[in-house]
Structure formats: structure tokens, C-alpha cells
């Protein structure tokens, strides 16, 4: 992409009412647009990051046997009443409305009920199980406070997966494989060293659950960790009983602040019993199906990554999810030099390199008359803010030496590299 054709622009300041680091940087860099507290639109650069995160998650969900679906966001009141989760005293984050014919509906904050109800159309025998399905779905949660940018939204993108198995043993096998898949996902997006499988409360889902918590000063949780034993406990469930069950003492643990990036729940047969979802076993008996639920907040994960990988200059995207791998910055104004810079850009495209080409220097007077004096320092500041991993600088000075300057976003060293030796990886 040519940066001169990118409709978004960087900003020196974020909205005054935005206090979270992740949203302030994402807004300033042109990745998101704030609609209202907890509600954000995702612009071209932001959507590129989201799609890369989704693809990593998709690949790992497919590896464990997941099949991708897409459910509706509008929910039937009657279905949720069957599980007692329509009542606001049990689930206090519903967005509810009424259709013109008087029918009450809700906007989905989770999907255990509708997917389980749908599965009744496809499962009758033990031969039909197990089934693992997942989706990328916009969720709606009427949060009382939404002050953490895209880390806690009232509207957000989630990957939610559901497992349907014949019994606890079959469920546990898949549950364990999902834990490993989640850990691999967090490693692939750059958070592996700081993310822990954490014993926690199930909230509106179950009594207990496992969360995936990433160390972050911007997080809303506190957990106790024992790195050597790979044990982590959410502070909200800390008790002598939990410590005894996990085989640790409080003196062995270190308290850290964290942000939740994923969670998994074991529902057992509760939901299936409530919704009358049963299968016929080999003995001809009707048995409730065993249910598990597994979530990763995609946009939330993006926010945590920005909190983790940023500095005073801007964002530092891990390569695996960066909108582009290379930021080609041209400082050329002479027609001959511009053609040489364009040629470097074209070679990158020919090699399949994901590159953002800052060509604004040569086209600035045509497209942005008010910014005709755009200086190299401003372009470098934009590049630092956007946070693409590798910057390649083309200027009259470098071209005079048949070279370019190469700088990594997460380092300070600048290397002069000849044109024939440019590494595009």
C-alpha cells in the first residue's frame, strides 16, 4: 500500500477523554476510531492486525478439530430463560430490546445457549460426537465502566468455541488440547513468556474456570504465580483450600497485575440438561451431552499487545500480527530518485513482501497542499507511531551510495545496506 493513498492520518493527540494507553496509541496511529466509550471502529491498519490475529487463532482451532461457523447476534429471550441467564440478577451485561411485534430480544454476550440448541438438530447418537465448533462473533456487553480502551469494550470481537462430547473423559482430553492450543496462540502473537494458565472463578458461566492472564500494568486482575511450578491463581479465588489443592503455600507465590486474554469453562451436563440436549448411547439410553466453552477476545488481545509492545514513540508490533512487515520511507524529491524508490517498492511487491510505502514526499503537493513541507523527522515520527517492525529509508544520500538505511522498530541501530543486498524478510 502507498501511504499517500491511505485515507487515515496520524494525530499528535488522542481524544482528551481517552485515558487508556492502548486506545490513545491506536487512535493517534490511525488504527481505530472511537465512537463512544467502549465502542470503536477499526480502520484499514487496525483491521489488518485483527485479521492476522484471527488467522493465527483460526489455524490453531482447526488443528484441534474445530469447525468454523457464524451465529446470529440477536438472541431469543425464551432460550435464555430456560437456563436462567436472561434474568439481569444473574447476567447483568445484557443489551435488550423489543421488536416491533413486541417480541423481546437480546444482543448476544455469549453463545452457549443458541449453539447448544442448534446442535439438537444434528446430534442424536453417540456416533455424532464429539463436535467442536467456533466462531468469530461481535459480542455486546453492557459494561458499567468501559475505561480500558479496546481491552474492555461494550462491543467487541471474540473467538468463542464450544465442545460437545459424550462424557467427562472425552471432554477433558479436548479441554487439555485447547489449553495447549491457546498457549501456542499467545506465543505466536508475542505474549508467550508473560501469559499464564490461571485458576479462577467462572463468573456467570461456571463455579470455576481457567483464565489465560498476561502480565500487564494496564490489567484489571491480580494473580499469584509460581513460575517454576507453572502455577497461577486469580486473587479473587485465593483460599487455603485452593492452595492445598494446587500444592503451594502463599509464601511461594508472587502477586502480579494482569490482563485476561482468554478463558475456558467446563459446563459439564448442566446446559444440556436445561435445554434437553441428549444423545443415545450404545446401550440405548438418553444421556445429556457434555459441554465446554472456550473464549479469546480478539480485539481485547490486540489492546493487550499494544500495552505490552509500545514505548514513548508509539507501537512496536510483533511481526506475526503487524499490518505490514516493512515500512519503506522515501525522502526523495528528485524525479530520478523517486523512480528508484518506486522501483524498490515494486521489487518488494514482486517478492510478496507486505510493505507500506511512505511515498508522500513526492506526491505531497498534489494530495496534501497543507502538508507540503512534511519533513523527514515527521515521517520518522509517523513510522515510530505506526510501529511496523522494519523501516527501510530511501534518500538522495543513500541512493548516491546505491544503498538504503535499515532500522528495526525495537532497536536504535541504523544499518547501511546496498540495494543488491537488501533483505526483505
Q: Which of 84, 90, 80 has the alpha carbon at shortest distance from 204?
A: 90
b/e sequence 271-306, b meaning 16+ C-beta within 10 Å: bbebbebbbeeeeeeeebbbbbbbbbbbbbbbbbbb
Cα separation, 261 vs 295, in Å, equals: 9
β-pairing verdict for 104-107 and 74-76:
antiparallel
Position 112 scores a pLDDT of 96
Position 207 scores a pLDDT of 63
User: Contact, 357 vs 227, CB < 8 A?
Assistant: no
Query: Could you report the per-residue pLDDT of 269-301, keeping only the tens digit for each?
Result: 999 999 999 999 999 999 999 999 999 999 999
Query: Could you report the per-residue pLDDT of 367-388, keeping only the tens digit for each?
Result: 444 444 468 999 999 999 999 9
Question: In the structure, what pLDDT confidence band is assigned to residue 15 with cuts at 50, 70 and 90?
Answer: confident
Q: Which of 222, 282, 280 has the alpha carbon at shortest distance from 253?
A: 222
State mean pLDDT over 163-174: 97
From 21-25, 155-159, 221-225, 243-247, the region with the lowest mean pLDDT: 243-247
User: Contact, 107 vs 73, CB < 8 A?
Assistant: yes
Mean pLDDT of the chain: 93
How many Å separate Cα 2 from the centre of its chain? 26
Cα separation, 144 vs 169, in Å, equals: 39
Position 147 scores a pLDDT of 81
Query: Could you report the per-residue pLDDT of 389-399, keeping only the tens digit for each?
Result: 999 999 999 99
In CATH terms, is domain 3-315 a member of 3.10.28.10? no
Query: Could you report the per-residue pLDDT of 304-351, keeping only the tens digit for each?
Result: 999 999 999 999 999 999 999 999 999 999 999 999 999 999 999 999
Query: Could you report the per-residue pLDDT of 194-218, keeping only the tens digit for each?
Result: 999 999 876 655 567 899 999 999 9
Question: In the structure, what pLDDT confidence band is assigned to residue 266 with cuts at 50, 70 and 90?
Answer: very high
Cα separation, 393 vs 405, in Å, equals: 5
Cα separation, 425 vs 362, in Å, equals: 26
Cα separation, 19 vs 11, in Å, equals: 16
Note the maximum CA span of the chain.
Answer: 83
Where in the chain are the domains?
3-315, 324-421
N-term to C-term CA, the chain: 17
Is the pLDDT reported for residue 361 higher than 70?
A: no
Is the pLDDT reported for residue 50 higher than 90?
A: yes
Cα separation, 296 vs 264, in Å, equals: 9
Q: Where are the alpha helices (DSSP H) in 351-400?
A: 360-367, 376-386, 396-399
Position 206 scores a pLDDT of 57
Whether the ω angle into residue 130 lies within 30 degrees of 0, i.e. cis, is yes
Residue 2 CB burial class (10 angstroms; 0-12, 13-18, ≥19): middle
Enumerate the β-bridge partners of residue 161: 134, 294
Q: How far is CA 294 from CA 161, 175, 210, 234, 267, in A?
A: 5, 9, 10, 18, 11
CATH architecture of 324-421: 3-Layer(aba) Sandwich (3.40)
Q: Do the domains 3-315 and 324-421 sit in the same CATH topology, yes or no?
A: no
Position 370 scores a pLDDT of 44
Cα separation, 273 vs 287, in Å, equals: 9
Amino acid at each position: 500500500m502507498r501511504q499517500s493513498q491511505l485515507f487515515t492520518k496520524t494525530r499528535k493527540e488522542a481524544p482528551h477523554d481517552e485515558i487508556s494507553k492502548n486506545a490513545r496509541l491506536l487512535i493517534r496511529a490511525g488504527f481505530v476510531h472511537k465512537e463512544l466509550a467502549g465502542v470503536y471502529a477499526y480502520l484499514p491498519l487496525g483491521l489488518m492486525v485483527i485479521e492476522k490475529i484471527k488467522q493465527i487463532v483460526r489455524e490453531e482451532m482447526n488443528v484441534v478439530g474445530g469447525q468454523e461457523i457464524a451465529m446470529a447476534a440477536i438472541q431469543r429471550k425464551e432460550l435464555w430463560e430456560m437456563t436462567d441467564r436472561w434474568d439481569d440478577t444473574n447476567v447483568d451485561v445484557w443489551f435488550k430490546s423489543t421488536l416491533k411485534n413486541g417480541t423481546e430480544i437480546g444482543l448476544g454476550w455469549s453463545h452457549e445457549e443458541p449453539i447448544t440448541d442448534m446442535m439438537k438438530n444434528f446430534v442424536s447418537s453417540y456416533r455424532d460426537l464429539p463436535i467442536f465448533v467456533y466462531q468469530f462473533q461481535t459480542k455486546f456487553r453492557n459494561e458499567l465502566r468501559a475505561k480500558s480502551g479496546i481491552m474492555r469494550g461494550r462491543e467487541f470481537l471474540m473467538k468463542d468455541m464450544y465442545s460437545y462430547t459424550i462424557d467427562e473423559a472425552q471432554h477433558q482430553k479436548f479441554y487439555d488440547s485447547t489449553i495447549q492450543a491457546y498457549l501456542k496462540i499467545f506465543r505466536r502473537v508475542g505474549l508467550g513468556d508473560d501469559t499464564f494458565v490461571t485458576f479462577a472463578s467462572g463468573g456467570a458461566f461456571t463455579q470455576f474456570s481457567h483464565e489465560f492472564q498476561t502480565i500487564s500494568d494496564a490489567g484489571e486482575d491480580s494473580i499469584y504465580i509460581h513460575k517454576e511450578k507453572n502455577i497461577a491463581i486469580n486473587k479473587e479465588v485465593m483460599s487455603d483450600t485452593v492452595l492445598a489443592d494446587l500444592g503451594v503455600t502463599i509464601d511461594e507465590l508472587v502477586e502480579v497485575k494482569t490482563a485476561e486474554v482468554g478463558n475456558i469453562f467446563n459446563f459439564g451436563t448442566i446446559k444440556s440438561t436445561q435445554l434437553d440436549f441428549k444423545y443415545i448411547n450404545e446401550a440405548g439410553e438418553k444421556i445429556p451431552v457434555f459441554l465446554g466453552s472456550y473464549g479469546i477476545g480478539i480485539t481485547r488481545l490486540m489492546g493487550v499487545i499494544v500495552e505490552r509492545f509500545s514505548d514513548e514513540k508509539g507501537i512496536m508490533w510483533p511481526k506475526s500480527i503487524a499490518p505490514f512487515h516493512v515500512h519503506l520511507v522515501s525522502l526523495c524529491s528528485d524525479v530520478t530518485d523517486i523512480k528508484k524508490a518506486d522501483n524498490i517498492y515494486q521489487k518488494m511487491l514482486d517478492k510478496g513482501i507486505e510493505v507500506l510505502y511512505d511515498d508522500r514526499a513526492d506526491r505531497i503537493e498534489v494530495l496534501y497542499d497543507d502538508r507540503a513541507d512534511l519533513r523527514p523527522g515527521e515521517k520518522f515520527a509517523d513510522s515510530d507511531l505506526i510501529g511496523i517492525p522494519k523501516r527501510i529509508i530511501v534518500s538522495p544520500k543513500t541512493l548516491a551510495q546505491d544503498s538504503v538505511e535499515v532500522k528495526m522498530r525495537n532497536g536504535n541501530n541504523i544499518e547501511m545496506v546496498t540495494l543488491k543486498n537488501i533483505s526483505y524478510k
